[in-house]
Amino acid sequence: MAFEGASKIWLNGRLIPWEEATIHVCSHVVHYGSSVFEGARAYRTKKGAAVFRLREHMERLLHSAKIYRMLPSYGLEELEQAVLETIRANGLEECYIRPIVYRGFGSLGVNPTNCPIDTAIAVWKWGAYLGDEALNDGVDVCVSTWNRVAPNTFPAMAKAGGNYLNSQLVNMEARDRGFVEGIALGPNGLISEGSGENLFVVWRGRVLTPPLSASILPGITRDTVITLLREMGFTVEEQMIPREMLYVADEVFFTGSAAEVTPIRSVDRIPVGKGTRGEVTRAVQEKYFQVVRGEDPDHEDWLTYVYN
């Protein structure tokens, strides 16, 4: 995806020009990956721009920061307002949102406690994460040779910058092999997630997704899709999933704030189902976009309007 940027970034309580949002090369985060972040989206609705599940994203940001002992100087409501302020300052109706808390310039040993904790929020225009055609046509993926982290190594429930070194390896390997994305196995050899997406499998009338114990991020879109599927009458089960189920599943799809709901049409060059977007995927995808675009009054509480 091309990166356009925007005009303003929120940094430690004030809006500054995009090009001035820089850090020192000896900042702790540069050398040790000491950051936690979020990825959210604002969508255009009939009532104007609305951030989808803003509170849940800011809660997860603070939870990640708590795990890494780097809580920012801003509380939940302050961060929510800062996100809205940043979108308004950039005049956007739709955008991707990237809040980040990181260890700045102070000292350069592994121990981060003498480094300041900085907080920033960036927003920019960003289309379909896995490509413009992916939402309809699906994507071709592979099972990566890289596994997700084992329990008690890195905290998988934290959305931390350092954790995404693993994700980079998964994604780069997939791209080098001619695929759009990779699927990582957990330390037990069972399905975990994509490099930046949660995973769902449709199998014999049930929808399956790996549990939190499978070394996955507790995705907010994942939670949304589980809720919507159950409301639509589907049976959803969180359970361990063997690799081979990907090859014989009726449908497989990714979820994530960036990926939204993206069908997977093949795994390791083996077609999933008919090799096209399946009916369950289509149904929940359509429902998801109705919700995020403010067309479903039952989930209006998931939207925070920017300009009201």
- For residue 69, count other CB atoms closer than 10 A to its CB: 9
Tell me the residue length of the chain: 308
Location of structure tokens 């109705």: 290
Which amino acid is residue 28, in one-letter code? H
Active-site residue identified among 125, 159, 274, 287: 159
Alpha helices in 73-180 (DSSP H): 76-90, 134-137, 164-176
DSSP string, 244-256: THHHH-SEEEEEE
- For residue 154, count other CB atoms closer than 10 A to its CB: 16
Active site residue 159: yes
- For residue 17, count other CB atoms closer than 10 A to its CB: 10
Q: State both tokens at 251.
A: 């449908």
Kindly list the catalytic residues.
159
